Homo-oligomer: A and B are copies of this chain.
Amino acid sequence: MEAPYQRIAADLRRRIQAGELAPGDKTPSTRAIARDFGVALATAVRALAVLKEEGLVEGRPRSGTVVAATLSRPRRHPGAVELTRERIVREGIAIADAEGLGTVTVRAVAARLGVSAAAIYRHVRGRDDLVRTMADLAYGAERYQDVTLGRRDRLEMVARTLWRIYRRHPWLPHLAPLGRPLPLPGVLRHGEQLLLALDGLDLDPATAMTIDVLLYAYAQGLAVHVEREAQAMSATGLSSEQWLDTQGGTVNAVVAAGRAPLLAKLIGELGADGYDFDLDRLFEFGLQALLDGLGIGNAD
Chain A positions near chain B (C-beta within 8 angstroms):
1, 126-128, 174, 177-181, 183, 185, 188-189, 191-192, 195-196, 199, 205-206, 208-210, 213-214, 217-218, 220-222, 224-225, 228-229, 232, 240, 243-244, 247, 250-251, 253-255, 259-263, 266, 269-270, 275-277, 279, 281-282, 285-286, 288-294
Are A214 and B282 in contact (CB-based, < 8 A)? Answer: yes
List of B residues within 8 angstroms of A189 by Cβ:
259-260
Are A183 and B250 in contact (CB-based, < 8 A)? Answer: yes
Are A222 and B225 in contact (CB-based, < 8 A)? Answer: no
Complex: chain B residue closest to A195, CB-CB: B262
Alpha-carbon separation in the docked complex, A251 to B191 (Å): 13
Alpha-carbon separation in the docked complex, A67 to B109 (Å): 35
Complex: chain B residue closest to A191, CB-CB: B263
Minimal beta-carbon separation of A170 from chain B (angstroms)? 12
Copies in the complex: 2
Alpha-carbon separation in the docked complex, A229 to B251 (Å): 34
A-B contact pairs, 16 of them (CB 8 A): A179-B225, A179-B229, A179-B277, A183-B253, A185-B259, A188-B260, A191-B263, A195-B266, A199-B262, A205-B266, A210-B282, A214-B286, A217-B286, A220-B221, A289-B293, A292-B292
Alpha-carbon separation in the docked complex, A106 to B55 (Å): 31
Contact status of A254 and B206, CB under 8 A, knowing A1-B127, A214-B282, A225-B178: no
Alpha-carbon separation in the docked complex, A290 to B209 (Å): 18
List of B residues within 8 angstroms of A179 by Cβ:
225, 228-229, 232, 240, 243, 277, 279
Are B277 and A217 in contact (CB-based, < 8 A)? Answer: no
Q: A244 is contacted by which of B180, B210, B285, B286 (Cβ under 8 Å)? A: B180
Complex: chain B residue closest to A233, CB-CB: B179
